Structure 1
Amino acid sequence: MSSFNNSTSENGSSRGLSFELLFSALNASVSGIIITDNLQPDNPIVYCNSAFEKISGYTRSEIIGHNCRFLQGKDRSQRARHVIASAVEKGDSCRVEIRNYRKNGDLFWNELFMAPVKDQAGVITHFIGVQNDVTLRKKADLDLVEQKSIMEERVRERTSELKESEAFLSSIIQTVRESLLVLDPEFKVISANDHFFKTFKVNSQETVGKLLYDLGNQQWNIEKLKDLLIGILPTNNPVLDFEVEHEFPHIGKKLMLLNAYRIELEGQYKDRILIAIEDITDRREIERRKDDFLSIASHELKTPLTSIKGFMQMLKRLQPGDLPDQYATIFEKVNVAIERLNGLITDLLDVSRIQSGNIEIHKDTFDFDTMVKETIEQMQSLSSSHIIVCTGSSGLRVTADEQQIVQVLNNLLANAIKYSPDSREIYVHISRVSDYVKVSVKDTGVGINLEDQQRVFQRFFRGAEFQRKFAGMGIGLYVCEQIIKNHNGTIWLESEKNHGSTFNFTIPIEP
């Protein structure tokens, strides 16, 4: 909220004190409070208090710069969303109850009170939203509706169904290609599937009825596993993809992914613990070998490519002046192909450095707006098919690795051009949101479906449709995300199939 702080300093210490008290009060509120900037495109969030972070599960750096709709995730058809949009458009206040989703995916009901903030000229500059988690109240309302005479009948029906399907479920569990264990509250093994016995070279007599930590001469007495069962699981949150590495007798070192859940069904199944164990030892080794291959291959390719570039430069200096135009055209195409190959090898090297933890950041202070505009000018010179329109400004000098931020922007611009072959314009917007700078790169191209949006920043991921129509390796966005993460920023995507995509990133303004 630096814009508020600036006005404080201009109007004297007494007013500064009142603003400090105001923001202290906002931060102490048990209600979540956010402020959005109505004068910027898409009304981004520029302030949130601690209660809003707690309610949503997101940190401040993951909230600032987003539009409030990111809390609804894929749940976009709610009537409350239209009420909010209408209120923003008309500049009205509104009160709604809306389904939101925390960072871990949990649903919560949010009671939102939203009101506009106007300046002295009557222009709406901001919106303030006060939010309360009313999930328990909504749940109580639903419970009252359901607590009728049919409840007992439904319980009896479900109990009967469980008994009838017990054998069927047991056969399914035995065919699952993961090791499964069911424990009682004291961590004794109630049952295990055949895959567990085969993987860890044990039998039922050695396992069922035994304390987990005593299995196989205490080979399961693993500190990280104890932390999972004793420290994490009692919070009633499922444990997902908990990585454990351990040396087992007879079968050697194993790298495992553990997923654990507390089973809280009534009756004989109450308070049991289900643990699914996935052996990822071979998969991780394959990934390591692939990373080693990429590192070696990219380094080995870099050397001859550098020589080729040098020879091409020498040929250009030595070429006679009476050569036909066709020669110059072919020469230029070769240079373009060499630069494209050089870019691919550079991306591979970046992936290799990221995986090995050797990517370095060399921070310096530079004019952010100038950097963006110069990058756009360079990209524009290479693309005659599109026009890149730049709007907004931050007016800031930031401290970051300028070359890496240029690399991110170049990648986003290149993708916007590549994936919008039938449109002419690419839009770039620069802004300051709270103590972050934000860049948005928007195209009106093919867009990305919801399923692929969840994976676009994964290494080597490319949607099936894109693989058929567009060349690429699926590593550019992965590199972009890692660079922005290393700068303590966030990068995210908003897209709709056949209606284009907008990639946004923020990086903090370091003092």
Structure 2
Amino acid sequence: MLLKALDASISGIILTDNRLPDNPIIYCNKAFEIITGYDRSEIIGHNCRFLQKEDRDQKERAILRDAIKNGKNCVVDIRNYKKDGTFFYNELFMSPIKDENGKVNYFIGVQNDVSLRKKAEQDLRKQQELMEKRVAERTQSLKENEDYLASIVQTVRESLIVLNPEFKVLSVNDHFLKTFKVTTEDTEGRLLYELGNGQWNIPALKELLESILPTNNPVEEFEVEHDFPYIGKKLMILNAHRIELEGQYKDRILIAIEDITDRREIERRKDDFLSIASHELKTPLTTIKGLVQIMQRMVPPGLDEKFSSVLDKTGVYVDRLNNLIAELLDVSRIQTGNIELHKDLFDFDKAVHEAVETIQVATKSHQIKISGSTNENVSADESHIVQVINNLLSNAIKYAPDHKEIDVYLSRVSNFVKLSVKDRGMGIRVEDHKKIFDRFYRVGDIQQRFPGMGIGLYICDQIIKNHGGTLWVESELGQGSVFSFTLPLNKHAA
């Protein structure tokens, strides 16, 4: 019954006789034959080490020898080889069988093929090693990126603050510390509004952080003016973004602060100089213009035509200089907010036709064609609107010297009137579309070919904006340009 039970086991079982030399196998069950691939006749009489063949350097063999020598239990996972040479891992449970005197007569070994388990363990170890390597590489990469970003942040010539969602300061760069005369200990871990004994408790800043940013829209060019007790009044431009970096920093807030106090003061001084210089030039220029007109009327009959020609050219250049000074004065008034608009109802189509007619009389090189109509009266400063139309037409002529046709389109769009001036000249690059309306901006290649100060379109843009309309350009390089503006219809005034 015992032998039948042993043969029914799915584990390989052997008995060795410790009383005989080399502790040979004296019994094996059927499962052991299946596991090893050997027949019983090839097993009986051999020592168990025959299963290791030439693989004799395993440390588990020393554990087995020690257990046999000292008559102890042991458990090992040892590499064995089947009859056909196939490698497998053998999980061996070995126990001594002693007589009544405690002498070890036999050993019993229970064996299982655990190759699949071993393979899974090895695969797991390899995966762990691979993951540890990747984690180490990723950690190193993140550290390098962090060091790289930190070096960039510290060299940026703007003040930078990083906040958590509760508006506590996580970090600031050196420029912030120097500009606002604080230390790292005074800032990091503190609520932004509490910095500097409440110096940063600025209502406009609170509105930015608590009302605008939560909509997930970035804040750009947000102007804040504040009087700091220690460093005085500062005019600042704030840009704020919610950031998420590599899934680690969620809903952190990055604020970039540009101190424009000195720049704005320099611009104010330039505007003051511009205003003073323009006014000072206006008076003597008016006198010169009057004297030239008197001389033109007093030219005696029969005088040399060359003298009359020089006098006429002098009058032309005096007019150009007078127009330039008038534009500078307009710029000065716009910058100081003192531009005066005298709005009244006038026939928009009629004003456009008269302006075109005036320009057409003065130029013989181009043909200006008007199409469309609005049939509307607008409430606006007619002289300023005509100034805009004249500027757009003059530019169309100036920048399209080789193309003689200029088109003017009139239309009503919803509750606006719209005017467009189309030329077929050199065109404007897309990246310059917005810049051309900036004060004193001139496109590089245009500056070389066509003289000017770059204030005409700036004045036009400001005039239209002050009327509640918009001025824009559609153009591609080499494809001509279309300048358009709209003016709102004031039905109540009409």
TM norm. shorter chain > 0.5: yes
Q: Counterpart in 1 of 2:289?
A: 309
Q: Counterpart in 1 of 2:426?
A: 446
Q: Counterpart in 2 of 1:478?
A: 458
Q: Counterpart in 1 of 2:193?
A: 213
Q: Is residue 320 from structure 1 mapped to residue 295 from structure 2 by the alignment?
A: no
Mean CA deviation greater in 243-252 or 413-422:
243-252
- Residue 395 of structure 1: how far off its partner (Å): 2.3
- Residue 252 of structure 1: how far off its partner (Å): 1.5
How do residues 254-333 of structure 1 correspond to structure 2 at under 5 angstroms? Answer: 254-265=234-245, 267-333=247-313
Correspondent of 1:402 among 363, 382, 385:
382
- Residue 502 of structure 1: how far off its partner (Å): 0.7
Whose Rg is larger? 2
How do residues 353-432 of structure 1 correspond to structure 2 at under 5 angstroms? Answer: 353-432=333-412
Aligned partner letter, 1:290: K
Q: Counterpart in 1 of 2:325?
A: 345
Contact 1:254 1:281 in 2 (8 A): yes
Cα distance in 2 between the residues matched to 1:229 and 1:365: 45
Cα distance in 1 between the residues matched to 2:171 and 2:349: 62
Identity of aligned residues (%): 64
Q: Counterpart in 1 of 2:416?
A: 436
Cα distance in 1 between the residues matched to 2:385 and 2:260: 35
Q: Is residue 468 from structure 1 mapped to residue 448 from structure 2 by the alignment?
A: yes
Contact 1:462 1:474 in 2 (8 A): yes
Instruction: Determine helix, strand or coil for the equivalent of 2:264.
Output: helix
Cα distance in 2 between the residues matched to 1:447 and 1:217: 56
Q: Is residue 492 from structure 1 mapped to residue 472 from structure 2 by the alignment?
A: yes
Contact 2:379 2:490 in 1 (8 A): yes
Q: Is residue 242 from structure 1 mapped to residue 208 from structure 2 by the alignment?
A: no
Mean CA deviation greater in 245-254 or 300-309:
245-254
- Residue 268 of structure 1: how far off its partner (Å): 3.6
Mean CA deviation greater in 425-434 or 475-484:
425-434
- Residue 322 of structure 1: how far off its partner (Å): 0.9
Contact 1:426 1:444 in 2 (8 A): yes
Aligned partner letter, 1:357: G
Aligned partner letter, 1:356: T
- Residue 435 of structure 1: how far off its partner (Å): 2.4
Cα distance in 2 between the residues matched to 1:356 and 1:315: 38
Instruction: Determine helix, strand or coil for the equivalent of 2:290.
Output: helix
- Residue 398 of structure 1: how far off its partner (Å): 2.4
- Residue 340 of structure 1: how far off its partner (Å): 0.9
- Residue 266 of structure 1: how far off its partner (Å): 6.2
- Residue 357 of structure 1: how far off its partner (Å): 1.3
Cα distance in 2 between the residues matched to 1:388 and 1:221: 59
- Residue 206 of structure 1: how far off its partner (Å): 1.4
Contact 1:183 1:191 in 2 (8 A): yes
Q: Is residue 459 from structure 1 mapped to residue 439 from structure 2 by the alignment?
A: yes
Question: What are the superposed Cα offsets for residues 449-481 of structure 1, whole Å, 9 maximum, x if unpaired?
Answer: 111112111111111111111111111111111
Instruction: Determine helix, strand or coil for the equivalent of 1:456.
Output: helix
- Residue 494 of structure 1: how far off its partner (Å): 0.7
Contact 1:265 1:271 in 2 (8 A): no
- Residue 160 of structure 1: how far off its partner (Å): 6.8
TM-score, length-normalised on structure 2?
0.70
Contact 1:437 1:508 in 2 (8 A): yes
Cα distance in 1 between the residues matched to 2:490 and 2:139: 60
Cα distance in 2 between the residues matched to 1:390 and 1:210: 65
Cα distance in 2 between the residues matched to 1:509 and 1:204: 57
Indicate how the Cα distance of structure 1 residues 247 and 458 shifts in structure 2: closer, same or farther if over 3 A, else same.
Answer: same
Instruction: Determine helix, strand or coil for the equivalent of 2:335.
Output: helix
Aligned partner letter, 2:404: R
- Residue 162 of structure 1: how far off its partner (Å): 3.3
Cα distance in 1 between the residues matched to 2:246 and 2:428: 44
Q: Counterpart in 1 of 2:173?
A: 193
Contact 2:468 2:487 in 1 (8 A): yes
Cα distance in 1 between the residues matched to 2:346 and 2:202: 50
Q: Counterpart in 2 of 1:228?
A: 208
Cα distance in 2 between the residues matched to 1:428 and 1:158: 63
Contact 1:189 1:209 in 2 (8 A): yes
- Residue 358 of structure 1: how far off its partner (Å): 1.2
Cα distance in 2 between the residues matched to 1:494 and 1:264: 37
Cα distance in 2 between the residues matched to 1:435 and 1:207: 53
Aligned partner letter, 1:315: M
- Residue 385 of structure 1: how far off its partner (Å): 1.8
TM-score, length-normalised on structure 1?
0.67
Aligned residues: 358
Instruction: Determine helix, strand or coil for the equivalent of 2:436.
Output: coil
Aligned partner letter, 1:218: G
- Residue 249 of structure 1: how far off its partner (Å): 3.0
Instruction: Determine helix, strand or coil for the equivalent of 1:224.
Output: helix
Mean CA deviation greater in 402-411 or 242-251:
242-251
- Residue 432 of structure 1: how far off its partner (Å): 2.0
Indicate how the Cα distance of structure 1 residues 225 and 397 shifts in structure 2: closer, same or farther if over 3 A, else same.
Answer: closer
Q: Counterpart in 1 of 2:157?
A: 177
Indicate how the Cα distance of structure 1 residues 497 and 159 shifts in structure 2: closer, same or farther if over 3 A, else same.
Answer: farther
Correspondent of 1:164 among 132, 140, 144:
144
- Residue 304 of structure 1: how far off its partner (Å): 0.6
How do residues 124-135 of structure 1 correspond to structure 2 at under 5 angstroms? Answer: none
Aligned partner letter, 1:422: D
Contact 2:293 2:315 in 1 (8 A): no
Indicate how the Cα distance of structure 1 residues 365 and 249 shifts in structure 2: closer, same or farther if over 3 A, else same.
Answer: closer
Contact 2:411 2:417 in 1 (8 A): yes
Aligned partner letter, 2:303: L
Aligned partner letter, 1:296: I
Instruction: Determine helix, strand or coil for the equivalent of 2:206.
Output: helix
Indicate how the Cα distance of structure 1 residues 342 and 194 shifts in structure 2: closer, same or farther if over 3 A, else same.
Answer: same
Contact 2:428 2:477 in 1 (8 A): yes
Question: What are the superposed Cα offsets for residues 210-254 of structure 1, whole Å, 9 maximum, x if unpaired?
Answer: 111221122111111111111111111111111111122332111
Q: Is there any run of 5+ residues in structure 1 with no aligned partner, and where?
A: 1-151
Cα distance in 2 between the residues matched to 1:371 and 1:423: 25
Question: What are the superposed Cα offsets for residues 27-80 of structure 1, whole Å, 9 maximum, x if unpaired?
Answer: xxxxxxxxxxxxxxxxxxxxxxxxxxxxxxxxxxxxxxxxxxxxxxxxxxxxxx
Instruction: Determine helix, strand or coil for the equivalent of 2:437.
Output: coil
